[in-house]
Structure 1
């Protein structure tokens, strides 16, 4: 996610100085009929992309959520629904993670009845449920991000709500060791409110997680790093005491790590996209041609990075850095009422962007609900 942050940076790196032309036309891809809210997209192997989220069913007090996963081959512009062990439980799929070998994880929300967080693991033998323990002393929680180094080395992050407090939330970190999820000790943060939204892993001893933390001065971005032994808090880029948070991460090795989110600027407190980069030494804010809104997706591949999100009015925003030049993505508005990209992945030179869209109901008709969308462009 990006936005103009010249005022927040002491200067721009050379790779951010020029703005190039936008990518070519975008192609809208087809989904099976039915409402769905997509929350993430991930490349699973050399030919396959997955996107996931949830559907709403029922009415009134009987309304519930059901997870949904779609898959698409690179040669196709049509997505097909994929059955998973999470189809029969009430949860969302908040994030997808895949290892270089093709193992994949789906992670969602907690089931307070069973005291577990819904998750599933896919390998060359098929699907298996992979529930994660909900920490003792908590009433709810869930995973919001997942990343994998190998089939027996994956990390998931999210949030929990402790018992007895409606306004206290703590972050959650768990590790998959090839058999089960096990809780990992976070660093001492001395905060009643903090959570983790995104995670990226380039090696067993190089894992980053990002989110938000409440401080006496307000909400601030939060960065944690795992060095193979323990998790430690890292210095986030300076935002001139402005409110901000990170929502997603991606990396292309230890010296090329990206985090995106939002920052509130000016007297109006309007949100602007936040893009930050780690060069192996320090984090810094990066300027990009996006504008107002929040960023929810980032992808890194072959020396390029791309970010997406949407404005407060639910119009899509996005930008790509390639060959040392930023390009505004100029994303199409898929829905007549709102278009909200939330995830992005790379296929060769192409970008696949997913999200949710709503159409304004015709006169005398009910709201048609939220529809999934995916667009592909170069």
Structure 2
């Protein structure tokens, strides 16, 4: 019954010929403790994946979604094209990492017990950054691991890293935002170290996602806890600036390129279900309701080289995959 309700709501907004594309349901599933959709990613039109809690990946082959099979349970997947995909599998003995080169999977484990990666970035072929935690002599330590083609190197992180973005092979950014701190931070890779950069004065700001469209076009999104407003920051190549788009009662949870120089944002509403916000390049901000009951957007991704998008949503326990074409 819930599936019929979701499909009916979405069909009311199905675009006629010549109208702008809209978000539509392509798959639904019921989940309990296991199987919840946690994230979505894509490398091309016929290759996408959904990360599920405690389950193997769902894979898109250009025609349908299907179970990837096997026993591996990846919780983090990042790619730099269809021939450069990295996945992090659940493991208690080490950080289990696998790399796909277009033909085979190769194991590249981070051999540190008591460690767990929580964020990763593949800025180019043969390179990977990962951030996470390691249990050390003095408790939990914030860590960074870097694969440059031959081995992993490790270093202490200057602060907890929650996300990465890359505008180029040298324009690397990292996000640090965690509850309890006075404000969020953004770091930039200098080639030798991750250095904190200046941000506008934003008391009690939380940043949830960062997206790099170009070296002079980087976005970070979240919320201002004190004023309960949506927060959008933009890097113009010189400095970070606070965008005038500050919707009340909003927390921007995720961001992704729209494939046309703009952005899609997943907006958590303090009252009502999640919605999408579309930023049309150098133009306007448009809120796009999803018409899903109690929707919580859990993943958002662009198909590289296109304006096609994927999103994963939890709607009253129904796990939903949406597409935008």
What is the TM-score when the length of structure 2 is the normalising length?
Answer: 0.80
Query: Which residue number in structure 1 is paired with residue 25 of structure 2?
Result: 28
1:178 and 1:68 map into 2 onto residues whose CA distance is 27
Deviations 1:213-253 (A, max 9, x none): 688xx4311111112222211123321x2x12222222122
Pick aligned residue for 1:122 from 93, 96, 100: 100
2:195 and 2:72 map into 1 onto residues whose CA distance is 33
Q: How does 1:158-237 map to 2 (within 5 A)?
A: 158-160=132-134, 170-187=141-158, 194-212=159-177, 218-237=181-200
Query: Which residue number in structure 1 is paired with residue 59 of structure 2?
Result: 71
1:84 deviates by: 5.7
Q: 1:204 to 1:51 in 2, by over 3 A?
A: same
2:212 and 2:320 map into 1 onto residues whose CA distance is 25
Q: Secondary structure at the match of 2:161?
A: strand
8 Å Cα contact 1:86-1:119 kept in structure 2 = no
Q: Secondary structure at the match of 1:50?
A: strand
Query: Which residue number in structure 1 is paired with residue 4 of structure 2?
Result: none
8 Å Cα contact 1:41-1:343 kept in structure 2 = yes
Q: Find out whether 1:107 has 2:54 as its counterpart.
A: no
Q: 1:245 to 1:109 in 2, by over 3 A?
A: farther
Q: 1:146 to 1:309 in 2, by over 3 A?
A: farther
8 Å Cα contact 2:267-2:275 kept in structure 1 = yes
8 Å Cα contact 2:121-2:128 kept in structure 1 = yes
1:199 deviates by: 0.3
Q: Find out whether 1:344 has 2:300 as its counterpart.
A: yes
Query: Which residue number in structure 2 is paired with residue 58 of structure 1?
Result: none
2:88 and 2:272 map into 1 onto residues whose CA distance is 26
8 Å Cα contact 2:167-2:218 kept in structure 1 = no
Q: 1:309 to 1:37 in 2, by over 3 A?
A: farther
What is the TM-score when the length of structure 1 is the normalising length?
Answer: 0.70
1:103 deviates by: 1.0
2:144 and 2:200 map into 1 onto residues whose CA distance is 22
Gaps of 5+ in 2: 1-18
Q: What is the Cα-based RMSD across aligned positions, in Å?
A: 3.0
Q: How does 1:111-150 map to 2 (within 5 A)?
A: 111=92, 114=93, 116-134=94-112, 141-150=115-124
Query: Which residue number in structure 2 is paired with residue 371 of structure 1?
Result: 318
Q: Find out whether 1:302 has 2:260 as its counterpart.
A: yes
Query: Which residue number in structure 1 is paired with residue 39 of structure 2?
Result: 40
Query: Which residue number in structure 2 is paired with residue 286 of structure 1?
Result: 243
Deviations 1:51-72 (A, max 9, x none): 2131xxxxxxxxxxx2431222
Deviations 1:255-276 (A, max 9, x none): 111122232023xxx4x33221
1:289 and 1:80 map into 2 onto residues whose CA distance is 39
8 Å Cα contact 2:29-2:318 kept in structure 1 = no
2:185 and 2:191 map into 1 onto residues whose CA distance is 20
Query: Which residue number in structure 2 is paired with residue 362 of structure 1?
Result: none
Query: Which residue number in structure 2 is paired with residue 256 of structure 1?
Result: 217
Q: 1:26 to 1:323 in 2, by over 3 A?
A: same
Q: How does 1:348-359 map to 2 (within 5 A)?
A: 348-358=306-316
Q: 1:213 to 1:34 in 2, by over 3 A?
A: closer
Deviations 1:255-312 (A, max 9, x none): 111122232023xxx4x33221111111112233754243232112331111114224
8 Å Cα contact 1:289-1:319 kept in structure 2 = no
1:24 and 1:155 map into 2 onto residues whose CA distance is 35
Q: 1:253 to 1:263 in 2, by over 3 A?
A: same
1:148 deviates by: 1.0
Q: Secondary structure at the match of 2:182?
A: strand
Q: Secondary structure at the match of 1:49?
A: strand
Q: Secondary structure at the match of 2:214?
A: coil
8 Å Cα contact 1:288-1:319 kept in structure 2 = no
Pick aligned residue for 1:97 from 65, 78, 82: 78
**Structure having greater relative contact order (Cα 8 Å, sep ≥ 6):** 1
